[in-house]
Amino acid sequence: MKSKKMLIGLLISIAFNVGFVVIFAYHVCMKPKPVMPRPPQVHERSQKFFRDENVTQLRRGNIELRREFFQELAKPEIDKERLGELIQKLEESQRTLEHSVLLHFIQIREEMTAEEAEEFFGKFHERHRRFRVRQET
C-alpha cells in the first residue's frame, strides 16, 4: 500500500516536471512575440514613406557619396582637397534628403486624423530613440 502511494506520488511529480520542461522549452524556443496593435491606416501610411522613389534615390546618392568618402580615406595618400569636396557634397546630399523626408511627413500628416497623427508622430521620437539604442548594442 505504501509503495503504491509512493509510485502515484512519483508519477504525479514526473508529470509536473515534464509539463514544466515542455512549457519552458516552448517559451525558450518559440519566443512568442508580444502583440502590439496598431491602427492599419497609420502603418500603411508609414510604409508609403519608404516607397517614395525620390527619397530612395536621395538615400542611394547619399550612400554612394559616403562610400566614395571612405574609399578616399582608405587610400595611402590623403587628398584633403578631394575630401573637402566630398564633405560638401555629403552635407548638401544630407540636407536635401532631410528636407524631402520632412516634406513627406507633412504630406502624410495632411492625410491623417488627429488620433492617427498622435499615434504616429507623438511616439515617433521614442521609437527612433529605441531603434538607435538597439543599433548601438
CA angle 51–53–58, rounded 5-degree value: 115
Beta strand extents in the chain (DSSP E only): none
What is the pLDDT at residue 48? 54
pTM value > 0.85: no
Other Cβ atoms within 10 Å of 86 Cβ, number:
19
What is the pLDDT at residue 128? 66
What is the pLDDT at residue 9? 85
84: its cell numbers: 573637402
Name residues of the chain where pLDDT drops below 70.
31-51, 125, 127-137
Check: CB of residue 109 under 8 Å from CB of residue 118.
Answer: no
